[in-house]
Structure 1
Amino acid sequence: MSQVLGSYKIPFHLHWSEFCLRSLAMPQAWVETTEQRNQLHRIEGKYAVGKALWAPKYDENGRKNASWTLLPQIAVGDIILHLVDGKFTGISIVDQTARDFRCLEGTRWSKYKDCYLVTLKNYQAFAQPLDPRILFQPPYRERAQQIVESESRLFYTKALTMQEAYLTRLPPPLIRLILDAYHLNLPVLAQIGGQEVTRAVDPNRGEYEADPTSIIREAAGRMQAAGYVMEVRDLASILIALTVRPFAIFSGRSGTGKTALTRLLAEVFGFYYLNVAVNPAWTDPTDLVGYISPTTHQPVQGALHDLLIRHVDDAILCLDEFNTAKVEHYFSDFMSAMETRQREFWGPLPALDQLARAQPSQEDRLQLPRRLRVIGTMNFDDSVQSLTPRLLDRATVFEFQPVTPEQILLSDHPERYGLAWDSLKDQPSLRWPFDGIPPLPDTVRAWFLDQLRQLEPGLRASRGELSPRLVVEFGSALALGNGVHDLFGATPEAAWMALLDQLLLTRVLPKFQGASRQGDLRALVRLAGVLTGSTPPEEPERWVAFLHDQGPSSHYPRTLAKIATLLTSAEEDGYAVYWQ
């Protein structure tokens, strides 16, 4: 017996949520074997060692090379160990997966024409080149022999000689051998190899480079100094959400700081920022990215033109009042691009690809920033469009509450009106605290699976049913949050609960907006029962009283408070209201 889920078959002995969590895979490591001698393009420029990997797709006879065909298997966040001119020289991180590439002219491979190109980042050179032949001598020889007997496609042969292959695998046992033999402190490799990670501080960037918790605290401190009131854990939740999925919705009344926060994030982290006021007349994606005029055959600029011509990697786009037009219409390409991505931020955008084909010059070509984060701000009144379930399923919703008089009076500068933007300009930009999704630790995975087994039956067949994609993204958020758990709770488990509370509030409950069907409302009550450990009543007229009888909860307080709001509005108005 197996349960069919999309194109996957789930073994009967696995709960479907456990199967989904297995996709939170550990990054892989690879060895690039190359030469720099007499190859200027490998010494400097954008194809240098540590900047890119590239290789032909086929040899001169049209056959595939086993080593070259590994390039499309490389994923964002994977680690590359560079073996240059017979010595290990450094490591780098994969920034972008393989794409088609015209082989470089003037090189020995130019005759092959069609190549793969993988771009890299964060190249870290070793203090001195490391000789791999050390691994083939005592006391490491026996381990090296055992590894090559059990693993395939390594950079050396069973005879303990160097392999003539451009790209080879670096499995965990070989990683541990290399770290031991050369006494290396490389946390990114140690984590893949299964060793305890020792955090190292980058002397060129300061302590924030190695400590996401410190980065987030520093970011919150700078915002507060500028006059913006926000809890550190709420900032951490937003940063985690924008790392897992690059689209969020900030909802709330006018003046609650939604748009200001989008700009603050860009200022603090040094990202390019574009604020676009959505036009109610927008009807399709060309309003954002532009199009080719059918009469003049010339490009017509869209609202994102200033963003697309920048050719930057990191950017924040604020779609202000983004539901004044039908979001499903003008944002449809972006919604699809979020689904076709793998470990990239965005998949292809058809309207943008059409424009790119019409602009052959690389310098003039419109390009979406590789790490673009989109935030839509929204109010609720009679002039705006409703949000569809499909859109809400792809967004993280953060609700902004008005600042209280007490918060204003207790701030450092209660007399200040607005934000002190100048206070941010003289400070160096902070690094984004999360560089990819780490693997989910076994202790967190076990706890999360236990929670899912309780939550999933109650939400089944309702608007809030947990999809495989949502389970994976919850797991990703927990993996990130576990690394900064001090911001969420006094103990790791308390932090996990606080994170799951926030995830249910921002990813599941918004889908119940407008719900009036008894099945949906009953699912909310079942969810409240699971979170409180109580048995809810069967009679709908007793549901609101049941929630009030539970009193303040130390576990999942935000989710339970919102469930009470949804059920109260359903009882009074006939349909559930999420937005307040």
Structure 2
Amino acid sequence: MSIIKMFQSKFKNRQASYMMVTILAMLESCSGEGAANIDDVVTLFRKFYKTRIENDKLPEKNDRDMANVDSMSLQQIKSLVLRNPVHHLNGLIIYDSNQGLLRFKKEIANQLNGSTKRELRMVAYQNLYGYYKSLDTYQITTKDLADLPIGYAVSAKDISLLSKQNQMKGIHPIQNDSFKAVIILCTIGGEQHPNEWLDHEKTLLKYYLESRTGAEGKKVYNENLSTNRSISNSLQDGYPLYVFVREQKGELFHYEGKFLYKQLVTEDDGDMYFELESEKGEEISNGSIPDVSKEEILKALEEFDLTKRNTPDWIDWDKKKRQKYAILFKNKIYPPKYIVKMATGINVGLFSGGEQTNSYLTKRGFEIIALNNELPGDVKDILGHIYKYIKSKGFNYELSFIQNFLLSLKTKPFLILAGISGTGKTKMVELFAEAVGATTLNGRYNLIPVRPDWNDSTDLLGYSNLQGEFVPGKLTQIIFAAQSNSKYPYFICLDEMNLARVEYYFSEFLSIMESRKSINGVITSAPITVNGLKDIITFPENLYVIGTVNMDETTHPFSRKVLDRANTLEFSEIDLSNFPEQSVEKQKVMLIENDILRSEFLTLKDCYAGNEDFIKEKVKILGEINEILMPSGLSIGYRIRDEFSIYLFYNKRWSLLSEDKAIDYQIMQKILPRIHGSSMGVEDILKELEQFLSSKYPMSKRKIEFMLRRFSEDGFTSFWL
């Protein structure tokens, strides 16, 4: 049985309020080990009843001792606590008379963390509500609001009595001669208004405006409605927003604290919501986070791994735009504020910038790293910058080509740039990297010229010399650098990569690339075997490899193993009259972090849920192409299907290329490079593809026309010039 159910089974047999009040007092004053000084508990116990009297409510039933709290000494109250609630809670709490401590039993204390403490507090207040509702007409007054404890339970009817408004409403402005405020009743994930927390610490609330249903069943919003305006005007007029939340309809609402109006947001579908931010979180009387040991924080990290990390709410938590920092511990990352909350039982939403939480953790020996979560809207700005930067260097590429380049890198960190010599392939890689802050000076852009005599991977990865010392290759050095600086992207340009057979010197690396998987939010791979190297190296999530190729008599053709693993971008259309513009404004380098390029989806299943219709529609196009390819043994595998779909999904999410143009690029880059030969079957395939592609995909159609002409003239054809 869970500890919450254990306490609930005790509370339901209540004859007075004492058990619930004792537990609330213990939760407020206990240490990380689950022990509270009996005198502190008694003081808080008495305060509860005196506060009820001050707020014009009955402290207890007339025949109960605490009904006369003003006439009782602290010693009398202590005796009451020990003989009544402590006795009735036997099995869950114990009194250590030698040390003067009330303790949660060990098996209970071991399960107490921020989450269970919060839940236990709410259960206690629910039972207090059930007990007191027969004693007082008003369960909440304006006096209560002055110092209302977090977790306090109310019903919609209680708030309606206070505000004198319909209890079906969610927004309740209250104003009299001496008091002005707004009470907000929020149902998380409600049917009409799917309100939600925007962060795991529950300090940012997405709360939909009051609306009416229009003629076509669509919600109609009026931000000038008096109730809606009472929220948006609260900040400038200086009155508080008291927020009460429940997780589902039919439950009581629990007090979450005072909130501040931040902004009004209109979603793409026209729905409108307020973004509200917690003013203080839970009250912290001394203005700081309660002191706990490093061991308590380690316990919270372990608890997070066991109970939170792989749950839907916490998968990819670090990618959310409001997550700015993480704890890095044993190659895993953890949310700092939530871990402190788990360890202390205190909501640290007060410290929204994260600095106090971070300082708290670093003083206890934990490493804090900064996260960079680009908003999707920033992608177009970044692409615009890259386009302008490259143009300012005297090179002209279409914006769509730059967009395709980024989409291809994000889909898979391996590209091939193909074309005749002198078309700017190598320069394109260098300038793209430079535009996002990766240069030869800072070591994040590296040009590796491929040599014709490479017949294995030792030149890239390294070898042991005659003295038995390991001599790292250039690629190994770059991998180590990238792993030690994972915040920023690293680029490798394998120049003229087909001067040697790619399968000879790069096949191990291609296979390792296919083993990539996401573990705890970090993309890693199987280890790369390097003879003589004791350290384990993997493919870093911030490494991008771009190969340039020329197709002439001095180079080697590519196998399908290589082509299936890359997007192949062609440089073939040269406009010699395209001169550099003299008036282009000089552009500065923009320091871009890795998240904008990092692969979010490694296989189709990673992005399939919720996007089924879109992906099925696109895979259907690929299936029709596959039907044409199958007779000649050129069938498409799952790898191409996945990368084709992921590319199109990224493009849809960022609204970059038109859908047809994106598909056109993918046919050019994933399908056509695989087609070559001299058999009549190859010609038949090309003719069928030409008919299938029509005018919707002009780049691919032109390429197929070129390949057919070549077949007609030479009796052989391929994608390559």
How high is the TM-score relative to the length of structure 1? 0.57
Conserved 8 A contact 1:355-1:366? no
2:236 aligns with none
Change beyond 3 A, Cα 1:129–1:477: closer
d(CA) in 2 for partners of 1:206 and 1:261?
26
Conserved 8 A contact 2:523-2:541? yes
After TM superposition, give the deviation of residue 217 of structure 1 in Å. 2.2
The reply on whether 1:505 has 2:668 as its aligned counterpart is yes
d(CA) in 2 for partners of 1:164 and 1:241?
34
Query: Which amino acid counterpart does residue 672 of structure 2 have in structure 1?
Result: L
Percent of paired sites with the same residue:
25
- 1:556 aligned residue (674, 697, 713): 697
After TM superposition, give the deviation of residue 166 of structure 1 in Å. 3.5
After TM superposition, give the deviation of residue 137 of structure 1 in Å. 8.2
3-state SS, counterpart of residue 632 of structure 2: coil
Change beyond 3 A, Cα 1:164–1:305: closer
Conserved 8 A contact 2:569-2:669? yes
- 1:405 aligned residue (571, 576, 590): 576
Query: Which amino acid counterpart does residue 661 of structure 2 have in structure 1?
Result: A
2:543 aligns with 372
3-state SS, counterpart of residue 471 of structure 1: helix
For residues 143-542 of structure 1, what are the structure 2 equivalents within 5 Å? 165-167=306-308, 170-171=311-312, 210-271=377-438, 272-293=444-465, 295-310=466-481, 311-313=484-486, 314-343=489-518, 347-352=525-530, 354-356=531-533, 358-359=534-535, 368-401=539-572, 403-408=574-579, 411-413=580-582, 423=586, 425=588, 427-429=590-592, 433=596, 436-437=600-601, 439=607, 441-462=611-632, 464-485=634-655, 487-488=656-657, 495-513=658-676, 515-532=677-694
Conserved 8 A contact 1:215-1:433? no
d(CA) in 1 for partners of 2:116 and 2:434?
42
After TM superposition, give the deviation of residue 527 of structure 1 in Å. 1.6
Higher mean Cα deviation, 258-267 or 461-470?
461-470
3-state SS, counterpart of residue 517 of structure 2: coil
1:110 aligns with none
Change beyond 3 A, Cα 1:371–1:139: farther
The C-alpha deviation readout for 1:254-313, integer Å capped at 9, x for no partner, is 2211111111222122341111011111111222110234x4221023132441342332
2:130 aligns with none
1:572 aligns with 713
Conserved 8 A contact 2:389-2:588? no
Query: Which amino acid counterpart does residue 432 of structure 2 have in structure 1?
Result: L
The structure that has the greater radius of gyration is 2
d(CA) in 1 for partners of 2:512 and 2:377?
31
After TM superposition, give the deviation of residue 389 of structure 1 in Å. 2.1
Conserved 8 A contact 1:463-1:511? no
Change beyond 3 A, Cα 1:250–1:137: closer
d(CA) in 2 for partners of 1:483 and 1:286?
41
Query: Which amino acid counterpart does residue 304 of structure 1 have in structure 2?
Result: L
After TM superposition, give the deviation of residue 425 of structure 1 in Å. 4.9
d(CA) in 1 for partners of 2:461 and 2:587?
31
d(CA) in 1 for partners of 2:573 and 2:650?
29
Conserved 8 A contact 2:387-2:399? yes
After TM superposition, give the deviation of residue 562 of structure 1 in Å. 0.7
Change beyond 3 A, Cα 1:469–1:428: closer
d(CA) in 2 for partners of 1:163 and 1:316?
35
d(CA) in 2 for partners of 1:274 and 1:170?
40
After TM superposition, give the deviation of residue 317 of structure 1 in Å. 0.7
RMSD of Structure 2 on Structure 1 (CA): 4.1
Conserved 8 A contact 1:434-1:480? no
Change beyond 3 A, Cα 1:575–1:164: closer
Higher mean Cα deviation, 451-460 or 310-319?
451-460
After TM superposition, give the deviation of residue 324 of structure 1 in Å. 0.8
After TM superposition, give the deviation of residue 509 of structure 1 in Å. 0.5
Q: 5+ residue gaps in structure 1?
A: 1-36, 40-81, 89-122, 143-161, 176-183, 188-203, 360-364, 489-494, 533-552
Query: Which amino acid counterpart does residue 270 of structure 1 have in structure 2?
Result: G
Change beyond 3 A, Cα 1:137–1:449: closer
After TM superposition, give the deviation of residue 129 of structure 1 in Å. 9.2
After TM superposition, give the deviation of residue 85 of structure 1 in Å. 8.8
Conserved 8 A contact 2:416-2:567? yes
After TM superposition, give the deviation of residue 431 of structure 1 in Å. 6.2
3-state SS, counterpart of residue 529 of structure 2: helix
Conserved 8 A contact 1:215-1:430? no
Query: Which amino acid counterpart does residue 403 of structure 2 have in structure 1?
Result: A
Conserved 8 A contact 1:334-1:349? no
d(CA) in 1 for partners of 2:620 and 2:252?
44
Change beyond 3 A, Cα 1:308–1:404: same
Conserved 8 A contact 1:338-1:346? no
Q: Which has the higher contact order (CA 8 A, sep 6+)?
A: 1
Query: Which amino acid counterpart does residue 508 of structure 1 have in structure 2?
Result: I
After TM superposition, give the deviation of residue 456 of structure 1 in Å. 2.2
Change beyond 3 A, Cα 1:505–1:386: same
3-state SS, counterpart of residue 279 of structure 1: coil
After TM superposition, give the deviation of residue 382 of structure 1 in Å. 1.8
d(CA) in 2 for partners of 1:86 and 1:242?
46
After TM superposition, give the deviation of residue 134 of structure 1 in Å. 5.4
3-state SS, counterpart of residue 649 of structure 2: helix
Change beyond 3 A, Cα 1:413–1:470: same
The C-alpha deviation readout for 1:28-75, integer Å capped at 9, x for no partner, is xxxxxxxxx989xxxxxxxxxxxxxxxxxxxxxxxxxxxxxxxxxxxx
After TM superposition, give the deviation of residue 329 of structure 1 in Å. 0.5
Conserved 8 A contact 1:290-1:302? yes
Conserved 8 A contact 1:463-1:520? no
Change beyond 3 A, Cα 1:217–1:568: same
3-state SS, counterpart of residue 415 of structure 2: strand
After TM superposition, give the deviation of residue 443 of structure 1 in Å. 4.4
Conserved 8 A contact 2:461-2:472? yes
The C-alpha deviation readout for 1:366-408, integer Å capped at 9, x for no partner, is 6653321111111122221221222112121111135413321
d(CA) in 2 for partners of 1:451 and 1:138?
44
Q: 5+ residue gaps in structure 2?
A: 1-30, 34-112, 120-197, 206-243, 254-302, 324-370, 439-443
Query: Which amino acid counterpart does residue 516 of structure 1 have in structure 2?
Result: S
Change beyond 3 A, Cα 1:269–1:255: same
d(CA) in 1 for partners of 2:516 and 2:664?
27
Query: Which amino acid counterpart does residue 288 of structure 1 have in structure 2?
Result: L
d(CA) in 1 for partners of 2:305 and 2:650?
39
d(CA) in 2 for partners of 1:432 and 1:381?
37
Query: Which amino acid counterpart does residue 573 of structure 1 have in structure 2?
Result: D
3-state SS, counterpart of residue 465 of structure 1: coil
1:45 aligns with none
Query: Which amino acid counterpart does residue 332 of structure 1 have in structure 2?
Result: S
